[in-house]
Structures are given as structure tokens and as C-alpha cells.
Amino acid sequence: MSEEASPANDAQGAKLGRCVLIGQGYVGLPVAVRAVHAGYDVIGYEVNQAKADGLNAGESHVEDITPEDMAAVLATGRYRATCDPTDLAGFDIAVISVPTPMGEGVPDLSYIESASATLAPHIRKGSTVILESTTYPGTTEELAGPILEAGSGLRAGTDFHLGYSPERIDPGNPTWRLENTPKVVSGVDAESLAAVKGFFDRIVEETVPVSGTREAELTKLLENTFRHVNIALVNELAMFAKDLGIDVWEAIDAASTKPFGYMRFTPGPGVGGHCLPIDPSYLSWQVERSLGQTFRFVELANDVNQHMPDYVIRRVQSLLNDHRKAVNGSRVLVFGFAYKANTSDARETPSRPIVEKLQQLGAHVSLVDPHLVPAQFPTDVARSEGGADDLGNADLVLYLVDHSDFDRELIGAADVPVLDCRRALKGPRVQSL
């Protein structure tokens, strides 16, 4: 392959190539920040002008990237966010990290299509394009590749490098961050793999090459389907154990002492975020479409996890009933709305159907979640600080998310029935899910 795009340079302090990140969200922004520190000139390409303006002003909408991180990145003079596609010109490496939602039970790949179409005219001989969005096997070569080729007039693998590298970022996880989590890399041919690996070797501590893009795409879906299925297993077990009068949490704690052959998963009010409620369905959709078969594990896990909010409502009804109260007219103080602890991300959060159902049943819901940005806060729900007075005024406390800044002792000690969906609280009136 001829190398017309400027080659990256490894020398200490020397300029590497020009890198563009398509999509500056939870996945794309951390990669952009690491790329700047690795020495690349980085363009963060966005379709959302407010996001781009905020980033250029040093504001971060992703909690793993602090305003200090943004200040440091901007101070290098090698990062700029933009909505202008002409800024993509002359790139050496492009990473596409755009959303891949489900639309009406079918994977919605329109964001990958439009990002690929925007990028294509700027591909040169020797450029590298890496897809990072989570998607079903075949997307890189069957969908993104042809769009990139058509728009550039160049051939993937012959003229430019093309590969796939799934993101494993876990927002809010202080231990496993982008840089110290091994990253799976792949390419449509050996040269593409080398280019993709070469880029991510500068971004993370360890890369894991696999032989093809489909294997890399499947790796991500396997990881998330594994998690989805195991969460469904403990969720269903929790419901049965409750009816059997057995403490499932104690059994889980005890099982977790086994040093091999067991991995700890805990029950909860349902699954949320961009990954678990969606990614396994990408896989089952593909199995159905390509093989005409049902991926039964995924269907079953969807069924169990999607019904957990209903189960939480039943437990709320039962707990209030124990105190001769109805949901209708009760004051329910809810702790946590984000889909998991210590994140502001409320996409697909199971807290949403729970709060909505409580309101439909006539409850007066107040919500405590210091992590949520105003845009994510449900508009028709009262905000609460969750202090002693708020606890004292509630008929029931519903603990949905275990944010580390919640005062667990105060909540557990409150003289009010508490349904703890995370087994995080201790107190005389606390019931676990």
C-alpha cells in the first residue's frame, strides 16, 4: 500500500499524525483525550453544536473526563471540537464512535452510515479508519466499508486500512479506565490490523489482536450478552428466593467466596444504559435474520430483566400494604435515577418506568440524584435533597441506585419503610429486593 497519508512518528515529543474522532460522547471523548496525550493532533467531530462549543470552552459532558482534563487537552493546542466536515480533511486515523440504538426491534445503523458517508471523501491512500461503535458482526466489512469505498473511490485493505475495535469503557469505574483495560483490535487484512493495533498501542496499555473484524464485533456482543444473561439469572433467583423465604443476597455473598468457576452478579431493578438493554438484541436480531433461529438465552434474559421494574412496583405495593397504605396518595422518596451508580447517564434506565408507574398509580414521587444533569432529570418529578426532613416526610423510600455520595447510614436508620434494590443499606425498616 502506498503511504500518502503522513505517517505517525514514535519519537519522543515528535508530532504524530492527524487523528479524527467521529462522535464525542461517552466513548469518543475519552479516546480523543488519550490521543492528544499520545501526541496526535486531534479533531473531535460532532453533529451536536452545543456539545462541540462546550468542549472548546473546556466543559465536559462525560464524568470520566473532568474540566481539568479538558483544560489540559486544550492547553496543548492539539485538540479542537468541530461540526464542520471540512475539518476532517487530511486525517491519518479516524475512529467512529457514534450511537447504535435499536429502532422498532431492529438495529439502527443510520449513525454509522452517516458518519461513514461524512468521512469517506477525506480518506487518502494510507489512511486508517476504525469503527468502535457496538454492532453486529459484519457491520465493518458489509456496511461501513462499502460506504467508505464509494465516497472515497479507494479500496479498503488495498488503498486504506479498515478495522474494528470494540470499546469496553465503563463510565464511573475508578479502577478500570480506558488506558488500563485491554483493547481488542482487528483489521480487514494484516496491514489494517497492524495500523489499528499501532494506534491503540499508543492509547491503551495492552491491545488484544483477533483475526478478523467479525470476531472483534462478536467479542463485544459476547461480553455484554454474558453480563445480561447472568444478571437475569440472579434477578429471577431473587424473585423465587423471596417467595421461598431465603436470603438470596447471603447466598450470593457465600457463593462469591468460591475462588474458581463462579462470578458474582447481583440482582437489581432492571438493566439500563446504552449497552445491556440493546447489544444482546443486536446479536439475536442477526441470528434470527441470518439463520432463522431464536437466540433463546437473549430472549429469556430480555424477558426477565425487562420485567424487573414491574417486580419492584409489586414489592412497593406490598411494603405499603404491610403498613395499611396504598400507593395512591403515598409519598415515595426515590434515591437514584441514573442507570447505575456514580454516573449521570440515564439512557434506558429502569428507574424511568418505575417512577412513571408509581406516578400512574397516584404516588407523589420525589427524586434524589445529584449526578443527573438537568436535561436528564424527569420534568414532572419533584427534586429532593434526600435529607433527614425529606426522609421523615416519606411513606416509603425506594433505593434504586447506590451512588457513593448517598448517606447510607442516614437512609438506613430512617423511621420509614425502605425497599433497597441494591442491598446497600442496613436498618431496622430496610427490606432488600
Ligand X SMILES: NC(=O)c1ccc[n+]([C@@H]2O[C@H](COP(=O)([O-])OP(=O)(O)OC[C@H]3O[C@@H](n4cnc5c(N)ncnc54)[C@H](O)[C@@H]3O)[C@@H](O)[C@H]2O)c1
98 touches ligand X by CB under 6 A: yes
Residue that the C-alpha cell 433467583 belongs to: 237
Please give the C-alpha separations between residue 12 and each of 16, 54, 67, 186, in angstroms, as whole numbers. Answer: 10, 31, 27, 27
Residue count, binding to ligand X (CB under 6 A): 27
DSSP string, 12-64: TT----EEEEE--STTHHHHHHHHHHHT-EEEEE-S-HHHHHHHHTT--SSTT
25 or 427: CB nearest ligand X: 25
| Residue in the shown chain whose Cβ atom is closest to ligand X | 25
Least Å from the CB of residue 50 to ligand X = 10
Point out the catalytic residue in the list 19, 83, 275, 421: 275
DSSP symbol at 160:
B
164 or 335: CB nearest ligand X: 164
Least Å from the CB of residue 65 to ligand X = 12
Helix axes 28-38, 190-203, angle to 10 degrees: 80
- Which parts of 124-143 interact with ligand X (CB under 6 A)? 133-134
Least Å from the CB of residue 394 to ligand X = 32
Residue (of 11, 31, 13, 12) closest to 21 by Cα position: 31
Active site residue 19: no
Mask: binding to ligand X, 157-176, rule CB under 6 A, as x and -? ----------x-x-x-----
DSSP string, 356-371: HHHHHTT-EEEEE-TT
Least Å from the CB of residue 221 to ligand X = 10
Mask: binding to ligand X, 22-61, rule CB under 6 A, as x and -? xxxxxxx----------------xxxx--x----------
Among 17, 39, 99, 107, binds ligand X (CB under 6 A): 99
275 or 398: CB nearest ligand X: 275
219 touches ligand X by CB under 6 A: no
95/336 Cα distance (integer angstroms): 33
Among 43, 94, 115, 218, binds ligand X (CB under 6 A): 115
140/144 Cα distance (integer angstroms): 5
Please give the C-alpha separations between residue 85 and each of 47, 57, 163, in angstroms, as whole numbers. Answer: 9, 20, 22
Stretch that binds ligand X, among 19-27, 149-157, 385-393, 419-427 (CB under 6 A): 19-27
Q: Quick count: other Cβ atoms within 10 Å of Cβ 71?
A: 11
Least Å from the CB of residue 391 to ligand X = 32
422/144 Cα distance (integer angstroms): 40
88, 119 in Cβ contact below 8 A?
A: yes
51 or 371: CB nearest ligand X: 51
Beta bridge partners of 80: 43
Cell of 22: 467521529
DSSP symbol at 374:
G
Least Å from the CB of residue 173 to ligand X = 10
Least Å from the CB of residue 98 to ligand X = 4
Beta bridge partners of 222: none
Reduced to 3 states, what is the DSSP secondary structure of residue 408? helix
217 or 402: CB nearest ligand X: 217
Burial class (CB in 10 A: 0-12, 13-18, 19+), 208: middle
49 or 76: CB nearest ligand X: 49
275 touches ligand X by CB under 6 A: yes
38/15 Cα distance (integer angstroms): 9
Least Å from the CB of residue 321 to ligand X = 38
48 or 342: CB nearest ligand X: 48
169 or 238: CB nearest ligand X: 169
Among 6, 114, 173, 342, binds ligand X (CB under 6 A): 114
Stretch that binds ligand X, among 114-122, 155-163, 322-330, 354-362 (CB under 6 A): 114-122
R_g (Cα) of the chain, nearest Å: 24
22 or 32: CB nearest ligand X: 22
343/173 Cα distance (integer angstroms): 9
Least Å from the CB of residue 3 to ligand X = 27
Q: Where are the beta strands (DSSP E) in 210-342?
A: 331-335
51/55 Cα distance (integer angstroms): 6
Distance of CA 344 to the CA centre of its chain: 11
The site for ligand X (CB under 6 A) is made up of: 22-28, 45-48, 51, 97-100, 111, 114-115, 118, 133-134, 167, 169, 171, 274-275
Active-site positions? 275
